Amino acid sequence: MTKIKCLNPIANIGLDLFTDNYEMTDNFDEADAVLVRSAVMHDMEMPASLKAIARAGAGVNNIPLEDCAKKGIVVFNTPGANANGVKELVLAGMFLASRDIIGSNKWVADNKDDENIAKTAEKAKKNFAGTELAGKKLGVIGLGAIGVKVANAATHLGMEVLGYDPYISIAGAWNLSRNVKHISNVEDIYKECDFITIHVPLLDSTKGMINEEAISMMKDGAVVLNYARDILVDEEAMGKALKAGKIKHYMTDFANPTVADMEGAIVTTHIGASTEESEDNCAVMAVNEVMDFIENGNVKNSVNYPNVDMGIPSKAGRVTIMHKNIPNMVSQFTAVFASENINISEMTDKSKGEFAYMILDLDTPASASCIENLEKLEGVIKVRVIK
């Protein structure tokens, strides 16, 4: 029986996928796999039984990735599972920046005791006039899971969309609407667009990418949307640009002391992925990743081990080996199987940084002595017999 521990509430639509071979446990120390959202795991002593941690979400800074890799614990996340939730919030951000829904609604609340509010509202409405999105230019920086969805949706709103991503994946390119103009110089977005939205990961190369220089190139009255990470934007420079009227609105999902009271900033509380559907999608993806790893040894969407997928085992035996990414490992593994006359029918070995993962399909099941000999090899972290 495989024991699953949830460190945070995980949506039932995901947990219901576990078959009778799995049971939930309250005891972390006996868990084979852990499902987690925001619980901080850095100070937790990982039990020897633990094989996998799945984060229902994208960010994994609450998990000690390298430590887990050294102990042979695969850490998964659920990339793209919340992309639609974020996309819809970005669209809402564009609408809120164009139509003064917030100001208009506040006026109604402020005038709630006015018996003639129906009439006075008609007079007040001119103060809350806006503009439409159709016909405006949107620049999308980063065409991954979220950026592609935002770009495609905006084309259906009648916007002209420019996309920039020098590292676009094949999936990203396939999914991108052909109505999105793929540009190769991000400055074209700064100079031409009425709305600019960023969907890049936080890296040394992207930190502060929307800086004073980038803002100075933007059209007067441009709107900047940041539903990715706050420090991608130089928010001091953004505050000055808002005050000067250079930027009309800064839409951000990251409340912090700099933007909380910033004139022209419309700030939310990191709610991009806070939808029932995103949480359901993350739970389903996390549970499927854990089950595929436990039952078949396949690794998909890991952040500390390479992705290796050999499907469902069809041969007599399957063994997986987590090992250090150092010379001469594979030849030693094959020698162990050869010494017992076990034929390897198929194998895949991939590395990610210091760590590597191998799946071997065998024509006869691996013997206990074979597994013992593999475990003895210098550089081997964990050996599992799947079949």
Ligand X SMILES: NC(=O)c1ccc[n+]([C@@H]2O[C@H](COP(=O)([O-])OP(=O)(O)OC[C@H]3O[C@@H](n4cnc5c(N)ncnc54)[C@H](O)[C@@H]3O)[C@@H](O)[C@H]2O)c1
Alpha helices (runs of H) in 100-144, residue ranges in sequence order:
101-110, 117-124
Q: Is 223 in the site for ligand X (CB under 6 A)?
A: no
The residues in 162-181 that bind ligand X, with binding defined as CB under 6 A, are 164-169, 172
CB atoms within 10 A of CB 307: 13
**Cα distance between residue 270 and residue 200, in whole Å:** 16
62 binds ligand X, rule: CB under 6 A:
no
Nearer to ligand X, 19 or 205 (CB): 205
Q: Mark the segment that binds ligand X (CB under 6 A) among 114-122, 212-220, 227-235, 350-358.
A: 227-235
Give the residue, chosen from 4, 11, 41, 58, that forms a contact with ligand X under the rule CB under 6 A. 58
If one asks whether residue 184 binds ligand X (CB under 6 A), the answer comes out as no
229 binds ligand X (CB under 6 A): yes
Q: Which stretch binds ligand X (CB under 6 A): 66-74, 242-250, 265-273, 332-340?
A: 265-273
CA distance 289 to 53: 10
Place of tokens 């592609």: 148
Q: Is 76 in the site for ligand X (CB under 6 A)?
A: no
Binding residue count for ligand X, defined by CB under 6 A:
33
Q: Does 32 bind ligand X (CB under 6 A)?
A: no
- In sequence order, the β-bridge partners of residue 6 are 35
Which one of the spans 23-31, 129-137, 145-153, 367-375 is the region binding ligand X (CB under 6 A)?
Answer: 145-153
User: Can you tell me which of 199, 248, 249, 318 binds ligand X, judged by CB under 6 A?
Assistant: 199
Q: What 3-state class would DSSP assign to 35?
A: strand
Q: What letters, b where the CB count within 10 A reaches 16 and e where it falls short, cover 142-163?
A: bbbbbbbbbbbbbbebebbbbb
Q: How far apart are CA 384 and CA 387, in angstroms?
A: 9
Residues in Cβ contact with 245 at an 8 Å cutoff, skipping those fewer than 6 apart: 220, 221
> Is residue 281 a contact residue for ligand X (CB under 6 A)?
no
**Contact footprint for ligand X (CB under 6 A):** 58, 79-80, 82-83, 86, 141-147, 164-169, 172, 199-202, 205-206, 227-229, 253, 270, 272-273
